[in-house]
């Protein structure tokens, strides 16, 4: 077992929120976007992160990349804590960790040509690269992600969503990074295009030996690309398991509900299926429930759930679950 | 590899696209033509003007324009109280007006854009300081503030331009800051940061080009208000000093003849009116052409 490339230990991100019409001296509210998450990422591994909107997935991504300040815990990149990094290490970290965004068009500067956009990381990180080399590398990378290199002088608005996302991927990969964080890279795309982009990412990951954090709210997409999956709810990790285990034998009631919500492409099976349904809305992260955050919506809630925050229980083989009342639920054979 | 990239089609020209939209606004096109005529007149003033603008023809004091009784073809628009040809003075005056407009807009826009960018990116305390100073400048009636500044610096055309630039600057700061605020939270700015762009690159290469359209419109519109303010200062004796053929100064000199010789006052006023109107029409067309929301493509 090699050393993990990225270690996240009890990461917390809190935002200050000013209440409406507050006086300058009233204390601001604390929004716990990420409330204590730990995981390891091995080189060449793809970690999926799933959860509802507002569960802190994007904040987690932004904290790892360093654009959102953390308020607790550690992010350890190749053995060095991100918080205590000196300027030189920070630059290499920035170069080695790149990101792919959700809205492909919004993530591309509308006043730059595709060539300029893809070359931007090269220009900022290696300003002394000769112009010819930059042009050659951009063209190579465009071809690699399935774009015709003669589109280099076009502007982003002339492309379709899938092509824009390919441009975003090319930009993220041109520096040959070690880790790519994909923040819902396909949720803004058509289903047919989604498959193309996910397969492209998978191929590139294999070819370049990338580590990847793949964030999505669509479990079926995550399952397809990830080796391991973390299920998040209201800023906390509920369950971590290999994608095989998680999708077939989830232990946490929330994961079970999440997986049950994935439709089966067979109307007979789909109708016959018994699914635990969760009701209600995600609680406000300004006032998270005491104890287990999933308590108000949990079908298996007990009185003790309100008392203290459940610990991560290790079930072996990298399977961890944050619920003392966990119980395996066989997804495939759970028919009524 | 390189062969495939060399035949990449180049852009169909942003200018031709701009012209396509600008052309639709008839008023703007007329404004542009009038503006162009004035610019050409200003550039070739010594060749076009029939007389020296400060030459006094003592035999032709207050001569009426050519179509009135006693008018002469050599003084097409008549002469003023000391016998100077009004047409020549107007043509030369155009030079001063455009000079004032260009310099004032350049100073105000450059300073305002830089301050606005800093204010948009800076921590909140610095932003507050900059914006409160701008609010204080905006709280004064613009002409009054310009008058005070000229009174401190001493009356001359240069000082008047500095004063007007300071008065116009807060508009650019606010405009730039507002666009920066809305642009900087967008994903492409985050992605540029992730790509390793420093704060200066973010400010001037990533964000600024996306904030330009409203600033360009503001520049065109404040060009005319700069001319107007310079004329007002000239009229109050605080701008260009006689015998400079500046339009506002010409008005001021002619004030006492307003009942006796209407042409001495009317023509400089009409010149100011036409120029400002033309520029404003053009600015409106510019706004329509540059506003991405009005584009249909």
pLDDT tens digits for range B94-124: 888 888 888 999 999 999 999 999 999 988 8
d(CA A261, CA B191): 32
d(CA B197, CA B208): 14
The radius of gyration of chain A's CA atoms, rounded to the nearest angstrom, is 21
Q: Which two tokens stand for residue A299?
A: 């079908």
- The SS3 assignment for A281 reads coil
- Residue A181: name the closest of A193, A191, A172, A194 by CA: A172
Q: Which two tokens stand for residue A22?
A: 């507050």
- What share of chain A has pLDDT > 70, as a percent? 96
Mean pLDDT of chain A: 84
By Cβ distance, the residue of B7, B187, B195 closest to A103 is B187
d(CA A55, CA A217): 10
Instruction: Reply yes or no: is the peptide bond before residue B243 cis, omega within 30 of 0.
Output: yes
Tell if the CB–CB gap between B188 and A120 is shorter than 8 Å.
Answer: no
Q: What residues of chain B, 237 to 296, have a C-beta less than 8 Å from chain A?
A: none
Q: Does domain B25-292 have CATH number 1.10.3720.10?
A: yes
H helix or E strand, kind and range, residue B129: helix B124-139
Tell if the CB–CB gap between A139 and B5 is shorter than 8 Å.
Answer: yes
State which CATH number among 3.40.50.300, 3.40.50.150, 3.40.190.10, 3.30.450.20 fits the domain covering A6-18+27-321.
3.40.50.300
Between A336 and B8, where is the model more confident?
A: B8
> What pLDDT does residue B130 have?
93
Q: Which residues of A touch B (CB under 8 A)?
A: 62, 65, 67, 91, 94-95, 98-99, 101-103, 106-111, 113, 120-121, 124-125, 132, 135-136, 139-140, 148-153, 155, 168, 171
Domain coordinates of chain A in residue numbers? 6-18+27-321
For residue B68, pLDDT beyond 70:
yes
- The SS3 assignment for A73 reads strand
d(CA B104, CA B219): 10
Beta-carbon-side half-sphere exposure of residue B292 (alpha carbons within 13 Å): 7
What are the tens digits of pLDDT across the range A33-70? 888 888 888 888 899 998 888 788 888 988 888 888 88
> What pLDDT does residue A166 have?
92
Tell if the CB–CB gap between B1 and A109 is shorter than 8 Å.
Answer: no
* Mean pLDDT on B177-197: 87
pLDDT category, B180, cuts 50, 70, 90? very high
Sheet with A6-17: strands ordered across = A29-41, A6-17, A72-77, A80-81
Give the gap in angstroms from C-alpha A317 to the nearest C-alpha of chain B.
34
* Mean pLDDT on A216-235: 87
pLDDT category, A332, cuts 50, 70, 90? low
What are the tens digits of pLDDT across the range A266-295? 787 777 776 666 777 778 878 888 888 888
* Mean pLDDT on B122-130: 90
A185: phi then psi, degrees, rounded to nearest 5: -70, -20
For residue A196, pLDDT beyond 50:
yes
* DSSP annotation of A210: -
* CB A219, CB A258: distance < 8 Å: yes
> What pLDDT does residue B136 have?
93
CA-to-CA dists, residue A269 to A257, A263, A266, B202, B204, angstroms: 17, 10, 6, 53, 57
> What pLDDT does residue B126 have?
92
Beta-carbon-side half-sphere exposure of residue B49 (alpha carbons within 13 Å): 25
By Cβ distance, the residue of A65, A135, A151 closest to B194 is A65
Residues 6+ apart with CB under 8 A from A334: A273, A274
Between B41 and A24, where is the model more confident?
A: B41
> What pLDDT does residue A181 have?
92
What are the tens digits of pLDDT across the range A69-94? 888 888 888 888 887 788 888 888 88
Task: Concatenate the DSSP letters of all residues of B57-69 into one string.
Answer: -TTSTTPPPTTST
Domain coordinates of chain B in residue numbers? 25-292
Tell if the CB–CB gap between A150 and B9 is shorter than 8 Å.
Answer: yes
> What pLDDT does residue B40 have?
92
> What pLDDT does residue A214 have?
92
Give the gap in angstroms from C-alpha B31 to the nearest C-alpha of chain A.
28
For residue B6, pLDDT beyond 50:
no
| Crossing angle of the two packed helices B208-235 and B142-153, in degrees rounded to 10 | 70
For residue B9, pLDDT beyond 70:
no
Q: How many CB atoms lie within 10 A of CB B231?
A: 30
* CB B91, CB B98: distance < 8 Å: no
- What share of chain A has pLDDT > 90, as a percent? 11
d(CA A332, CA A252): 16
Mean pLDDT of chain B: 85
d(CA A226, CA A246): 11
> What pLDDT does residue B11 have?
54
> What pLDDT does residue B73 have?
84
d(CA A176, CA A122): 10
Q: What predicted TM-score, i.e. pTM, was given to this entire model? A: 0.78
Beta-carbon-side half-sphere exposure of residue B195 (alpha carbons within 13 Å): 32
The residue among A107, A131, A164, A172 with the most chain B CBs within 10 A of its CB, best to mutate, is: A107
What are the tens digits of pLDDT across the range A291-323? 888 888 888 888 888 888 888 888 877 788 888
> What pLDDT does residue B5 have?
44
* Mean pLDDT on B12-26: 78
Tell if the CB–CB gap between B194 and A98 is shorter than 8 Å.
Answer: yes
What are the tens digits of pLDDT across the range B254-268? 888 888 888 888 898
Residue A135 with chain B: CB contacts under 8 Å: 2, 5
pLDDT category, B1, cuts 50, 70, 90? very low
* Mean pLDDT on A91-111: 87
* CB A292, CB A309: distance < 8 Å: yes
Between A147 and A21, where is the model more confident?
A: A147
Tell if the CB–CB gap between A99 and B206 is shorter than 8 Å.
Answer: no
The residue among A62, A92, A118, A124 with the most chain B CBs within 10 A of its CB, best to mutate, is: A124
By Cβ distance, the residue of B8, B195, B209 closest to A124 is B195
Strand partners, A273: A335
pLDDT category, A20, cuts 50, 70, 90? confident
For residue B33, pLDDT beyond 90:
yes
d(CA A29, CA A288): 12
């Amino acid at each position: 077992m090699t050393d993990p490339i990225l270690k996240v230990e009890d990461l917390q991100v809190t935002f200050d929120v000013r209440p409406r019409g507050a006086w300058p001296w009233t204390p601001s509210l604390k929004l716990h976007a990420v409330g204590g998450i730990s995981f390891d990422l091995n080189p060449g591994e793809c970690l999926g992160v799933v959860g509802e909107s507002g569960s802190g997935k994007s904040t987690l991504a932004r904290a790892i990349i360093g654009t959102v300040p953390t308020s607790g815990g550690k992010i350890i990149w190749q053995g060095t804590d991100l918080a205590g990094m000196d300027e030189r290490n920070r630059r290499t970290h920035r170069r080695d960790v790149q990101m792919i965004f959700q809205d492909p068009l919004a993530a591309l500067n509308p006043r730059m040509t595709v060539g300029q956009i893809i070359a931007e990381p090269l220009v900022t990180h290696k300003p002394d690269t000769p112009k010819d080399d930059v042009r050659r590398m951009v063209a190579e990378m465009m071809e690699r992600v399935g774009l015709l290199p003669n589109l280099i002088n076009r502007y982003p608005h002339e492309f379709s969503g899938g092509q824009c996302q390919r441009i975003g991927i090319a930009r993220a990969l041109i520096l040959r990074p070690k880790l790519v964080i994909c923040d819902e890279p396909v949720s803004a795309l058509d289903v047919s295009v989604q498959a193309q982009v996910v397969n492209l990412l998978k191929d590139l990951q294999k070819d370049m030996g990338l580590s990847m954090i793949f964030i999505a709210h669509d479990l079926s997409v995550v399952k397809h690309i990830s080796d391991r999956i973390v299920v998040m709810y209201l800023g906390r990790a509920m369950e971590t398991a290999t994608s095989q285990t998680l999708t077939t034998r989830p232990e946490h009631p929330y994961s079970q509900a999440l997986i049950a919500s994935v439709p089966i492409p067979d109307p007979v099976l789909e109708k016959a299926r018994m699914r635990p349904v969760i009701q209600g809305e995600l609680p406000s992260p300004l006032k998270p429930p005491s104890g287990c955050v999933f308590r108000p919506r949990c079908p298996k809630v007990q009185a003790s759930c309100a008392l203290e925050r459940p610990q991560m229980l290790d079930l072996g083989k990298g399977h961890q679950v944050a619920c003392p009342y966990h119980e395996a639920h066989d997804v495939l054979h759970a028919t009524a | 590899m390189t062969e495939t990239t060399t035949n990449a089609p180049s852009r169909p020209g942003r200018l031709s696209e701009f012209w396509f939209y600008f052309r639709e606004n008839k008023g703007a096109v007329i404004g542009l033509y009038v503006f162009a005529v004035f610019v050409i007149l200003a550039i070739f003033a010594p060749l076009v003007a029939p007389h020296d603008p400060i030459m006094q023809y003592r035999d032709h004091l207050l001569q009426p324009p050519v179509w009135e009784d006693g008018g002469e073809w050599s003084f097409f628009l008549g002469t003023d109280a000391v016998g100077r040809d009004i047409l020549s003075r107007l043509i030369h005056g155009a030079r001063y007006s455009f000079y004032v407009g260009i310099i004032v807009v350049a100073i105000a826009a450059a300073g305002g854009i830089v301050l606005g960018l800093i204010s948009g990116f800076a921590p909140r305390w610095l932003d507050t300081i900059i914006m409160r100073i701008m609010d204080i400048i905006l709280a004064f009636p613009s002409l009054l503030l310009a008058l005070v500044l000229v009174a401190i610096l001493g009356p001359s055309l240069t000082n008047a331009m500095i004063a007007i630039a300071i008065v116009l600057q807060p508009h650019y700061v606010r405009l730039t800051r507002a666009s920066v605020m809305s642009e900087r939270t967008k994903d492409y700015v985050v992605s540029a940061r992730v790509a390793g762009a420093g704060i200066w690159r973010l400010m001037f290469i990533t964000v600024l080009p996306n904030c330009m359209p409203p600033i360009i419109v503001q520049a065109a519109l404040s060009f005319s208000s700069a001319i107007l303010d310079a004329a007002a200062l000239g009229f109050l004796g605080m701008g260009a000093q006689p015998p400079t053929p500046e339009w506002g100064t010409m008005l001021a000199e002619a004030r006492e003849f307003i009942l006796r010789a209407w042409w001495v006052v009317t023509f400089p006023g009409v010149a100011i009116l036409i120029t400002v109107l033309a520029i404003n029409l053009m600015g409106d067309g510019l706004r329509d052409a540059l506003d991405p929301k009005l584009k249909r493509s």
